[in-house]
Amino acid sequence: MLLEINHLEKDYRTRFSKEVTHALQDVDFKVDQGEFIAIMGESGSGKTTLLNILATLDKPTKGTVILNGQDITKIKESSLAEFRLKNLGFVFQDFNLLDTLNIRDNIFLPLVLDRKTYTEMDSRLQELAPKLGIGDLLNKRPFELSGGQKQRVAIARSLITKPQILLADEPTAALDYRNSEDLLTLFEEINKEGQTILMVTHSANAASHAKRVLFIKDGRIFHQLYRGNKDNQEFNKDISLAMTSLLGGD
Amino acid sequence: MFYLKLAINNIKQSFKVFAPFLLANLVLFILTGSTLVILNSPMSSENMQYGIMTLNLAIIVLVIFAVIMSLYSYNFLLKQRSKEFGLYNILGMNKRKVGLVATIELFLIFLVTAFVGSILCAVFSNFFYLIFARLIHSDKLVLTLTPLAFASNIGIYAFIFLFLEIAGLRKIGKLSPLALFADSKAGEKEPRGNIIFALLGIASLGFGYYLSLSSSKIDAVLVLFRFFIAVLFVIAGTYLFYISFIAWYLKRRRKNKKYFYQPEHFITVSQMIFRMKQNAVGLANITLLAVMAFVTIATTSSLYTGSSQLVSALFPKNTNITLFDASNKDTETALEETILKEAGLPNKDVTSYKTALFANLPLASVTQAIIKENQELFTADQLKTLVNVYIITQEDYRKLGNDVPQLAQKQTALYMDNDAKLESLDIQGLKLDNIKNGNIDNFPEALQTYNSAALVVSNDTVFNEIITHLAYTYSENYDPVNITNFIELSTGEFKKLNHSLDITSGNYLRDSNGEIIGRLSNEKDSKEEVVTMYGGFLFTGFLLGISFLLGAALIIYYKQYSEGHEDKKSYTILQEVGMDKSQVKKTINSQVILVFFMPIVMAIIHFLAALTMLKQMLLLFGVMDNSLIYSVSAISIIVIMMIYFLIYKITSKTYYKIIER
């Protein structure tokens, strides 16, 4: 078992009222090594809160998150950055590349923070770049790239640390259909090579590339679908069906 | 009415951007206003008029400076708000109406500046006046607030704001709503860091420095010219240094993989490259303003403190009576016969000596001096040998407390501040041996004459012989010989003397035929004179220094403000990627400190290099005490550094607030 999420709860209290919002209630699931999970829900469903807790950017009110036997909700503030650096990879919807660095250096960033040598960084990049199709972009700067290219660079940056889990927050939200499809296919390929991926999304199409889909509403996980042997299109139909019937969604 | 409400609302909403603009205008308004009030206040004495002379200059510089600074900050204001204006435009307000809103805003700011400024001006001008009166040792401590001063100050600022209005409307006219919404961050290219410009910058800085450092032995009037050239080179060099050299240097650092790929350098170097691009001009401006503050404050304080020292050295005894056209008079009895007897004062304890001044004799840095009529001295090397020479006998020179070796008939001794290595003289065939070269110690004449020397001769015969041989240097009826007398007089005696004499302006003495026969001066009056004059200088330097620092502070504030917004995102990303908060903070700190203290360090280096020249130019005003100049400079540097640090503390708070929000 790679990751165990046990009875997670998160309450928010607004500053001026005593009303408590339950962002997460009794969220409980497990993730195996090599899984590709999509967490689906509408905005306000609590999916981003869940991701933030898994990313150690936020702490739960109750419950534990065990990664490889370690409760990551108990890690001290001072060691959190290092923990993230060594164990987690992030892909954001708006790419979050630094404008002041070129593409190569953007990808190197986490390794530089981890004090790896240039030779080591370079050899990891040589391995990664052709897979992601970014070999000829390395000397460019972020503003010269299209959205799809930027997102592939962001993936390279998250994979170069060889993370235990790749966390993706609406990675296709800022991309058009074709680029989204390319990106999701890329995720499938990376996953096939053994990378565990946990993706938060509101799009059924994006979720249909995952192996398992968790549905979240009002802070609770109340349904899940396994792909089994279905292809993307069939799985997409199942997901859409589940959404309309269960979430009462669009 | 709607537009007025909108304008008021805008100012309230974006007070953070309006505040420094308003504050800068207020401070400059108060500074010019107070100066105008002091200028227009009725003066107690003639002496005070002397001190006020430089205030006119202060007003001119302040107004020019106010135009530049308010234009700068208004431009910044408009830039910050271009998105807002674009939104109005898209929502259906045409450019004329956007212009109207901007005009109302500007007018409101003007009203506040004029109203609050005038009230504060009435308060602060008294404070400034007290400083001014103290500096010029005036006993008139009450300032009259004349309405004219306030009216003209408001008038000046009305013009400045009119200027801003025109500049603003032009800018709004050029705006395109689409451009307003374009992402301002997108596509910023890397700065060039051109090696040629980088080297050019270093070279022109180096040349400017060289001009200063090499001028320790150059004529002060020439130094004035060199100073001007050096200033131009240093200004150009400073801009190029920030624009090209630093980018070039940082890029070189980035190429060094071992250095660059370390967490301590990685973010700092890559961000600094861009930060320098956006800030190069601002940093150069801050540097130059700081240098200006250094130079004005240090030189005027040196002048002020040096001047009273100078006067003390000028008066071995408290009263000086110099008699002109004294070739045929006897040194010992001349004063008694022409002046003292008539005034009924006893001839007690008078130090009298005879001198003859000859301008531009080639005595410096030569071993053999040949002086003859129609001598052609044109090359720079020849011109360097020229000094203004006082001829004096050994007996007289000793009276002033100097050690002179016993001189035989045809022997001389040369005293000057540097480069004396004279062995022999030939003055139109009169051959003399110079047996001693030394520095000038006690010789009041030398303090009053720039680039001067004392040629000490054996006796009156040789003294008169030289004068005859050099007669070709002046017109027929001119007598180059003066008898200088120093005498210690009580206030009563001095009054008595004053009464008996026919004294005209400039303290010249006239005989019964109205011919000028000499000049009377005393230590107390002279001191007052220089103190009022240099007190005015110092006050002006103080006013200008403050406003230059204010300008620097304003640029710094804007820099921090705009950078804060730009850096915010970068630091969020860094935290998400895996940099911890303390590391992020350290990175921010190191950059802020570097960007902040680079200009002041650079300014100090500029200033230190300029000191050599400043010292030479201060010589023109008789300030010769180097240790005084150094200590005054050191104090100015420390005080300005402290003010600068204060500015840093206040403005970086704004920066961190934005970053951490």
Tell me what pLDDT residue B73 has: 86
Contact criterion met (CB < 8 Å) for A100 and B266: no
Tell me which residue in A80, A113, A143 faces B263 most closely, judged by beta carbons: A113
Neighbour count for residue B365 (Cβ, 10 Å): 15
B273 Cβ contact partners less than 8 Å away, ≥ 6 residues apart:
A100, B190, B191, B193, B247, B250, B251, B254
> What pLDDT is stored for residue B178 in this prediction?
65
CA A124, A127, A132 angle in degrees (round to 5)? 110
Instruction: Count the residues in chain A.
Output: 250
The rounded distance, in Å, linking the Cα atoms of B652 and B561 is 9
Q: What pLDDT, on a 0 to 100 scale, did the predictor assign at position B309?
A: 81
Task: Give residue B355's pLDDT.
Answer: 92
Closest partner residue to B271 (CB to CB) among A96, A100, A157 is A100
Average pLDDT over residues B405-426: 88
Average pLDDT, chain A: 87
pLDDT exceeds cutoff 80 at B621: no
The stretch B12-36 carries a mean pLDDT of 87
Q: Which two tokens stand for residue B10?
A: 């805008």
Instruction: Tell me if B188 and A81 make a contact (CB, 8 A cut-off).
Output: no
B244-288 pLDDT per residue, tens:
888 888 888 888 988 899 888 888 888 888 877 777 888 888 899
A-B interface: how many C-beta pairs under 8 angstroms? 71
Name residue, tokens 């840095």. B365
> B566: pLDDT confidence band, cut at 50, 70 and 90?
confident
Nearest CB to B580; choose among A78, A121, A143: A78
Residues of A in contact with B574 (CB under 8 A): 98
pLDDT band at B174 (very low <50, low <70, confident <90, very high): confident
- Domain assignment present for residue A60? The answer is yes
Which three-class secondary structure state does DSSP give residue B236? helix
| A101, A140, A144, best to mutate vs chain B, most B CBs in 10 Å | A101
Q: State yes or no: pLDDT of B485 exceeds 50.
A: yes
% of residues, chain B, pLDDT over 70: 95
Asked if residue A61 is part of any domain, the answer here is yes
User: DSSP labels for B353-371?
Assistant: EEEEEEEEEE-TT-SEEEE
Contact at CB, B575 and A110, closer than 8 angstroms: no
How near does any CA of chain B get to the CA of A92, in Å? Answer: 10
Give contacts of A109 with chain B, Cβ < 8 Å: 266, 577
pLDDT mean over A143-149? 87
A106 part of a folded domain: no
Strands (E), B514-595: 516-522
Contact A80 B580 (CB under 8 A): yes
Q: Do B578 and A78 touch (CB under 8 A)?
A: no
* Listed residue (A216, A180, A173) closest to A39, CA to CA: A216
**Distance set, CA B63 to CA B66, B541, B542, B554 (Å):** 5, 15, 15, 17
Compute the average pLDDT of residues B542-549: 87
Do B577 and A78 lie within an 8 Å CB cutoff? Answer: no
Contact B271 A108 (CB under 8 A): no
Assign A199 a pLDDT band (cuts: 50, 70, 90).
very high
Share above pLDDT 70 across residues of chain A, in percent, rounded to a whole number: 97
pLDDT band of residue B606 (cuts 50, 70, 90) is very high
Instruction: Among A110, A117, A121, select the one facing B577 at the smallest CB separation.
Output: A110
Asked if the Cβ–Cβ distance from B185 to A98 is below 8 Å, we say no
With respect to residue A18, please indicate whether it lies within any of the assigned structural domains: yes
Q: Mean pLDDT: which of B172-176, B208-212, B514-518 is highest? A: B208-212
Q: Which of B266, B572, B573 comes nearest A112 by C-beta?
A: B266
Total-model pTM: 0.75
Name the maximum alpha-carbon separation found in chain B: 100
More reliable by pLDDT, B30 or B507 = B30
Q: B222 pLDDT exceeds 60? A: yes
Chain B nearest CA to A20, separation (Å): 24
Chain A: give the shortest CA distance to residue B224, in Å.
45
Per-residue pLDDT at B306? 85
* B184-211: average pLDDT: 79
Query: For residue B559, what pLDDT is reported?
Result: 80
Contact A113 B577 (CB under 8 A): yes
Å between B570 CA and nearest CA of chain A: 6
Residue B109 pLDDT > 90: yes
- Say how far apart CA B641 and CA B234 lie, in whole Å: 21
In a domain, A84, yes or no: yes
The predicted pLDDT at position A250 comes to 46
- Return the pLDDT at A239: 87
In a domain, A200, yes or no: yes
Contact B261 A118 (CB under 8 A): yes
Contact (CB<8Å) B573/A96: yes
- For the segment B474-488, the average pLDDT, to the nearest whole number, is 86
Contact B263/A115, CB-based, under 8 Å? yes
For residue A231, is pLDDT > 60?
Answer: yes
Q: Do B579 and A113 touch (CB under 8 A)?
A: yes
Distance from CA of A241 to the nearest CA of B (A): 35
- pLDDT value, residue B186: 46
Best mutation target among B254, B265, B573, B585 (most A Cβ atoms within 10 Å) is: B573
Q: Three-state SS string across chain A, please?
A: CCEEEEEEEEEEECCCCCCEEEEEEEEEEEECCCCEEEEECCCCCCHHHHHHHHCCCCCCCEEEEEECCEEHHHCCHHHHHHHHHHHEEEECCCCCCCCCCCHHHHHHHHHHHCCCCHHHHHHHHHHHHHHHCCHHHCCCCHHHCCHHHHHHHHHHHHHCCCCCEEEEECCCCCCCHHHHHHHHHHHHHHHHCCCEEEEEECCHHHHCCCCEEEEEECCEEEEEEECCCCCHHHHHHHHHHHHHHHHCCC
Quick check: is A42 in a domain? Answer: yes
Alpha helices in B317-459 (DSSP H): 334-335, 341-343, 380-384, 394-399, 444-448
Categorize the per-residue pLDDT at B130 as very low, low, confident or very high, splitting at 50, 70 and 90. confident
Reported as a pLDDT band with limits 50, 70 and 90, residue B462 is very high
> What is the structure's pLDDT at B193?
66
> What is the CATH number for A189?
3.40.50.300
Residue A43 lies in a domain: yes
The confidence band for B44, taking pLDDT boundaries of 50, 70 and 90, is low
Q: Measured between CB atoms, which of A96, A99, A143 is closest to B576? A: A96
Would you call B266 and A84 a contact, using CB atoms and an 8 Å cutoff? no
Return the closest-CA partner of residue B453 out of B366, B352, B351: B366
Tell me the nearest-neighbour CA distance from B179 into chain A, angstroms. Answer: 17
> pLDDT class for B52, splitting at 50, 70, 90?
confident
As for how many domains chain A has, the answer is: 1
Question: Average pLDDT in the A161-184 region?
Answer: 89
Q: What is the pLDDT of residue B188?
A: 58
- Least CA distance to A104: which residue of chain B? B261
Q: pLDDT tens digits for A14-40? A: 766 677 888 888 889 999 999 999 998
Distance CA B146, CA B36 (A): 9
**Residue carrying the six token digits 């660095």:** A101
The partner residue sitting opposite A99, judged by closest CB among B185, B261, B266, is B185
Q: What number is the average pLDDT over the span B52-69?
A: 84
Q: What's residue A195's pLDDT?
A: 93
Record: contact B579-A100, CB cut-off 8 A: no
Q: Do residue A84 and residue B578 have CB atoms under 8 angstroms apart?
A: yes
pLDDT digits (tens, 9 = 90+) for B489-536: 888 888 877 777 766 666 788 777 777 888 888 888 888 888 888 888
Q: Which of A85, A98, A112 sits opposite B261 (nearest CB)?
A: A112
Contact B270 A97 (CB under 8 A): no
Range of the domain at A92: 3-97+164-247
Q: Is the model more confident about B635 or about B49?
A: B635
Q: Which of B188, B260, B261 to mutate to test the interface with A (most CBs of A within 10 A)?
A: B261
Q: Which of A86-90, B103-107, B189-193, B591-595 has the lowest mean pLDDT?
A: B189-193
User: In chain B, what residues touch A122 (CB-CB under 8 Å)?
Assistant: none
Note whether A105 contacts B270, CB cutoff 8 Å. Answer: yes
Q: Does ipTM top 0.85?
A: no
Of these ranges, A156-160, A219-223, B510-514, the one predicted with the greatest mean pLDDT is A156-160
pLDDT band at B157 (very low <50, low <70, confident <90, very high): very high
Distance from CA of A107 to the nearest CA of B (A): 11
Distance from CA of A200 to the nearest CA of B (A): 17
- B-chain residue closest to A57, CA distance: B576
Residues 6+ apart with CB under 8 A from B100: B3
Q: Taking CB atoms and an 8 Å cutoff, what residues of chain B touch A159? A: none
Mutate to test the interface with B, among A58, A94, A98 (most CBs of B within 10 A): A98
Residue numbers in A near B573 (CB within 8 A)? 96-98
CB contact under 8 A, A81 and B271: no
Q: Taking residues B461-487, what's their average pLDDT?
A: 87
Picking from A111, A113, A159, A165 by the largest number of B CB atoms within 10 A of its own CB, the best residue to mutate is: A113
Instruction: Using an 8 Å CB-CB cutoff, list residues of chain A that contact chain B.
Output: 57, 77-78, 80-82, 84-85, 90, 92, 96-101, 105, 108-110, 112-115, 117-118, 121, 141, 143-144, 157
Beta bridge partners of A21: A12
What integer best gives the mean pLDDT of chain B?
84
